[in-house]
């Protein structure tokens, strides 16, 4: 699995999680649901963006390593 496919898999996992959270949030609306959303769900897009950028950097480094070893 290369970094591009890993990034795509991560994006797909986020879409699945967001959809599942939306479904759960239709019926789970108490204080604990709000706490869960604030602590775990809301930070994820930012973390995903940071992770995607790091994966792109790793991809660049791996390509350079590959070229340097040839």
Task: For residue 33, count other CB atoms closer than 10 A to its CB.
Answer: 15
In this predicted structure, the answer to whether residue 29 has a pLDDT above a threshold of 70 is yes
> What band does 58 get if pLDDT is binned at 50, 70 and 90?
very high
Spell out where 1-70 has E strands.
Answer: none
Q: Tell me which residue of 13, 6, 10, 41 sits closest to 25, measured CA to CA.
A: 41
Q: What is the mean pLDDT of residues 31-35?
A: 97
CA 66 to chain centroid: 26
């Amino acid at each position: 699995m290369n970094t591009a496919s890993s990034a795509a898999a991560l994006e797909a996992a986020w879409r699945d999680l967001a959809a599942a959270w939306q479904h759960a949030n239709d019926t789970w609306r108490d204080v604990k649901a709000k706490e869960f959303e604030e602590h775990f769900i809301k930070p994820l897009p930012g973390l995903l963006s940071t992770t995607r950028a790091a994966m792109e950097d790793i991809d660049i480094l791996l390509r350079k390593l590959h070229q340097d070893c040839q």
